[in-house]
């Protein structure tokens, strides 16, 4: 009996499985990546200068994108949830960066522990067009040690963490963090 309990506990600690992609998420111009997967199963708290843990996400057209595919660009990875008021309040600033960077800065919104359908219902209230990634199992957020929302990681073009911001981003803090990226 003890062996069975240990076996079940160990199985629960295994790699997370992707969440099934809904057949259709009609959200207008928004992009919802309904499936994601942590690719870097490392451990330990992340520090500035560390390699950003890699993850993949599946775009609505079926294309699989990885964070590591974005090397050469600066990336803003914002962890958020639909119930988080500060997350909602900072989204227009993130959208402004996405719109004004001409592709030099990539913005990814990683939703923490909610299903793609919840994200799809939420999208019309914020009107963002940068990719919103469903991390329904929480594996990506866990690897990034996200315990508070919003939390934003600023990734240098070489794939290393330039900075982390816990709490809402003001326009001035966002601009300051972006200027410090390499």
Q: Return the CATH number at 168.
A: 3.40.30.10
For tokens 């500060």, what's the residue? 86
- Specify if 47 maps to a domain: yes
Q: Which domain holds residue 100?
A: 22-180
- List, for residues 58-86, the tens digit of each pLDDT value: 998 899 999 999 999 999 999 999 999 99
pLDDT of 24 strictly over 80: no
Domain count, the chain: 1
Phi then psi for residue 97, to 5 deg, are -60, -45
The answer to whether 68 and 77 are in contact (CB under 8 A) is: no
- Specify if 175 maps to a domain: yes
Mean pLDDT score, 15-35 = 60
- Specify if 2 maps to a domain: no
């Amino acid at each position: 009996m003890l062996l069975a309990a240990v076996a079940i506990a160990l199985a629960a600690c295994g790699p997370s499985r992707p969440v099934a992609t809904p057949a259709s998420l009609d959200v207008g111009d928004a992009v919802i990546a309904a499936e994601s997967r942590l690719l870097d199963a490392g451990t330990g708290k992340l520090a500035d200068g560390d390699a950003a843990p890699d993850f993949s996400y599946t775009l609505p057209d079926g294309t699989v994108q990885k964070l590591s595919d974005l090397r050469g660009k600066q990336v803003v990875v914002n962890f958020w949830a639909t119930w988080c008021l500060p997350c909602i309040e900072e989204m227009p600033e993130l959208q402004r960066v996405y719109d004004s960077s001409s592709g030099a800065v990539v913005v990814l919104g990683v939703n923490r522990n909610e299903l793609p359908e919840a994200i799809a219902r939420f999208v019309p209230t914020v009107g963002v067009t940068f990719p919103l990634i469903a991390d329904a199992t929480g594996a990506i957020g866990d690897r990034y040690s996200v315990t508070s929302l919003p939390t934003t990681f600023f990734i240098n073009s070489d794939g290393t963490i330039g900075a982390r911001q816990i709490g809402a981003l003001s326009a001035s803090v966002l601009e300051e963090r972006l200027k410090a990226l390499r």
